Amino acid sequence: MSTAKYLVTGGAGYIGGVVAAHLLEAGHRVTVLDDLSTGFREGVPGGADFIEGRVQDAARYLDASYDGVLHFAAFSQVGESVVDPEKYWVNNVGGTMALLAAMRGAGVRRLVFSSTAATYGEPVSTPLTETDPTAPTSPYGASKLAVDHMITGEAAAHGLAAASLRYFNVAGAYGRHGERHDPESHLIPLVLQVALGRRPSISVYGDDYPTPDGTCVRDYIHVADLAEAHLLAMDAITPGEHLICNLGNGNGFSVREVIETVREVTGHPVPEVLAARRGGDPAVLVASAATARDRLGWKPSRPELADIVADAWDFARAVGAERGA
């Protein structure tokens, strides 16, 4: 595609920041809209315009000069969504409703949305395909599924060109953009915090699952591969169609494999503590990447866990150094 102008909501966060950086590198113009509720001002890549504001107020900022929107702004802590579900409906669903109305009003008719594997819930088969049943087990997953349904309706009724990309476990880092959730709940950054000496040990929640080593298996995708899929999706979408597409490696790694890889990459001991299973953790969550390959022409170029962990480690050390750790 020739040079275009995009609004990136949530572009001060982890994934939105990496995608914004890729868009800029591809020669596009980028405006980041982010309220910094979980993101960081320094996460906005140089070269992007920045609006500190809420997606709920998108109508104030969107106009016909934009060619499309990439929508990352959301709350995404599964556990928090269980204890505070309304926070998720208000921000994730309410925010996207306002965004869709603003896009309609401004005549901006291209959207790529961050959906999630959490829309499926307990998998009925593996690897998961986009036609598998959706039965989310958390308000977070339910809020993202509700948005997917909203986008399907918007495409059918009003001709929006849209894609929902259902990410599995996003990991790794891209330059100065890496994972920094607070509280951190994602496995790779948590294990790296142990390697850095900032946590005493890593908890392994159950080792009696029906998997090769008994621990849960997840599909990890490098954030830079994920970013490339967004640029391809923006080009692949067509008016009136809502493309739903899983983004994963199609390959699973167990919790113990992740811990072992962190030990190898960092050279640090990582003590582990066996804990009880957590409710709602499926044994295996692996994506079928066939739709992404066929519809987007996408293939991950960094599928090795060691490469993903190595990039995340560089980022974790840089952040540790900033904080004087």
Ligand X SMILES: NC(=O)c1ccc[n+]([C@@H]2O[C@H](COP(=O)([O-])OP(=O)(O)OC[C@H]3O[C@@H](n4cnc5c(N)ncnc54)[C@H](O)[C@@H]3O)[C@@H](O)[C@H]2O)c1
The yes-or-no answer on residue 14 being catalytic is no
Q: Which residues bind ligand X (CB under 6 A)?
A: 9-10, 12-16, 33-39, 54-56, 72-74, 76, 91, 95, 114, 116, 167, 169-170
Q: Which is nearer to ligand X, 3 or 86 (CB)?
A: 86
Distance CA(202)–CA(186), nearest Å, equals 11
- CA-CA distance, 73 to 150, in Å (whole number)? 16
**Residue with smaller CB distance to ligand X, 53 or 240:** 53
Nearer to ligand X, 210 or 322 (CB): 322
- Using only C-alpha atoms, the chain has a radius of gyration, in whole angstroms, of 19
- Quote the least distance from Cβ 323 to ligand X, whole Å: 18
Q: Kindly state the smallest distance separating residue 267's Cβ from ligand X, in Å.
A: 26
Q: Which residues contact 6 (CB under 8 A, 6 or more apart)?
A: 23, 28, 29, 30, 31, 66, 67, 68, 69, 70, 234
- Could you tell me the smallest distance in angstroms from the CB atom of residue 33 to ligand X? 6
User: Residue 77 is encoded by which pair of tokens?
Assistant: 């802590």
Distances 80 to 182, 184, 193 between C-alpha atoms, Å:
11, 12, 21
Q: How far is the CB of 325 from ligand X (least distance, A)?
A: 20
φ/ψ of 254, rounded to 5, equals -80, 165
Which one, 126 or 240, has the nearer CB to ligand X?
Answer: 126
Distance, CA of 313 to CA of 307 (rounded, Å): 10
Active-site pick, 6, 14, 66, 140: 140
* 259 exposure class (CB count in 10 Å sphere: 0-12, 13-18, 19+): buried
**Closest separation between CB of residue 180 and ligand X, Å?**
7
| Shorter beta-carbon distance to ligand X: residue 16 or 250 | 16
Just list the catalytic residues.
140
